[in-house]
Structure 1
């Protein structure tokens, strides 16, 4: 059902984009809009992961520089039947995480230092399983496409408003319809984008819980991350709000309503769904057993950090 809903919403986004193109230039405008969308999506397909990782100053780590964190991702990737993604750390006190990449063979996961220092090992496993579920479900590509479409629709609507829409016989909307389309289209595109984002979050919660075998690990992590994210600002996310949907919890605001303008589902609703899944799984839950590998001498900035070989994290992992 989630995949059907996503397909319907993507179809609606495409139709909206073509409609704005028709407003600007009739049938020729629709063709031009299609070519523009194709070019923008090709660029995003190849470069979106690099752009977002650079935007947040993410540093790649490996088994030497972050053995515990890397070991979690490695075992979960094996359990999910995925190639090992690149693993990154973001130096940010707000606990949060995201996945990016055009496909499972070119994917990356990133966690903030705040998340690695705040959550238990089991909770981190739940979060990373959620992010790997996004990769397995190709959500990173879907969200890149929808974000590109939404931006292109807003750009075209602004262009039409500035220069005026097509007034020839190919324009089916008329003057009034054109004005309405110019105003409503960007808003509708944003609503569709956010609806797709929320749909994919619920699907990734379920798939991630199944990957790690313990739905309540993710439920506990979501509660902690949500509480902390409302108190600890993420200045990079505030500077780039269009990227908010990629995080496991909205990094921008403390809004608690599951409404049309929320980038994420309500956290309480997500936890309730995970509790229901845990009850359904019952005795079928499995434990996450990976232990951090004994690291070789580390090099680089993470050698003395809480997750590098030069020091041990205090808390459940200590």
Structure 2
């Protein structure tokens, strides 16, 4: 329940901030008496599309801590915590990034990396992962997450999400305007957008949003392959990462909160492969095997 409330509150806050920004800048007045002002519409779409994506990115570490209850290891208290911090430190140095924050959270096997930049990130593992995997397998999972950070995957996916969001907003309103103009042809009495515009924009936002999700999911799957390959490089061999994936494939993996679904080591596989944020374990293991050859 806590995760759902946080997700809703965050998204409402983002929408409120963006709406105020659009009003202050005046870019929400893209519908004029002379029709669509395409320049203003594009700026409006860009603010709403990129704004939401980047606000989510900037808040990603904070939201990850809140939604999972992750506890940052500031001063290791056990041998496991000391090993986790030192393993991430060595991998970060090897990958050429600043030391991420390291956290542990209660839950079934999973792990994730998030943060606004390569030098301001968080790597977290679940207690279930630590309890059910060997040290070498956990190390491979950590290397996978560190590779995500080193590859700048959080920023890359944010940029992609921002671009597709912008096109969804822009194209939906153009189609809405065209449909509304067609339905009201010959009507010189009415001014401003009609019901045809409103309904069409809502329908197009949904349809184009579905198409956009497919595009974002494809890029997300590619970054998983890259992070697996990065883990193999950091570990010196693809074998530990393959073993970790095989082990994860045989366990019940706890889904992460929606905002973190694409960041986990496992999960995020949609009801159709087109919408899956992660490739199947079989595909990932096959890709690593091919790399090993």
Give the TM-score of the pair, scaled to structure 1: 0.66
Counterpart mapping for 1:153-302 below 5 A: 156=169, 165=177, 167=180, 181-228=204-251, 231-234=252-255, 237=256, 240-250=257-267, 259-279=273-293
From 70, 80, 83, the equivalent of 1:58 is 70
1:35 and 2:72 matched:
no
CA gap 1:274/1:63 in 2 versus in 1, 3 angstroms: farther
Q: Distance in 2 between matches of 1:178 and 1:26?
A: 16
Deviates more, 1:48-57 or 1:204-213: 48-57
Shift of residue 129, structure 1, vs aligned partner? 0.7
Alignment check: 8 A CA contact 2:269 2:276 kept: no
> 1:135 is matched with which residue?
149
Q: Distance in 2 between matches of 1:263 and 1:139?
A: 13
Shift of residue 72, structure 1, vs aligned partner? 1.4
Alignment check: 8 A CA contact 2:110 2:125 kept: yes
The alignment of Structure 1 onto Structure 2 pairs a total of residues equal to 241
Alignment check: 8 A CA contact 2:268 2:278 kept: no
From 89, 107, 114, the equivalent of 1:74 is 89
SS in 2 for 1:102: strand
> 1:83 is matched with which residue?
98
Counterpart mapping for 1:139-154 below 5 A: 139-147=153-161
Shift of residue 50, structure 1, vs aligned partner? 1.3
Q: Distance in 1 between matches of 2:62 and 2:253?
A: 26
**Structure 2 spans left out of the alignment, 5+ residues:** 1-29, 183-195
Q: Which has the higher contact order (CA 8 A, sep 6+)?
A: 1
CA gap 1:61/1:145 in 2 versus in 1, 3 angstroms: same
Alignment check: 8 A CA contact 2:232 2:238 kept: yes
For the aligned residue pairs, the C-alpha RMSD in angstroms reads 3.4
> 1:109 is matched with which residue?
123
Alignment check: 8 A CA contact 2:238 2:288 kept: yes
Shift of residue 149, structure 1, vs aligned partner? 6.0
Alignment check: 8 A CA contact 1:57 1:90 kept: yes
Q: Distance in 2 between matches of 1:180 and 1:113?
A: 43
Q: Distance in 2 between matches of 1:39 and 1:168?
A: 30
**Structure 1 spans left out of the alignment, 5+ residues:** 1-21, 280-318
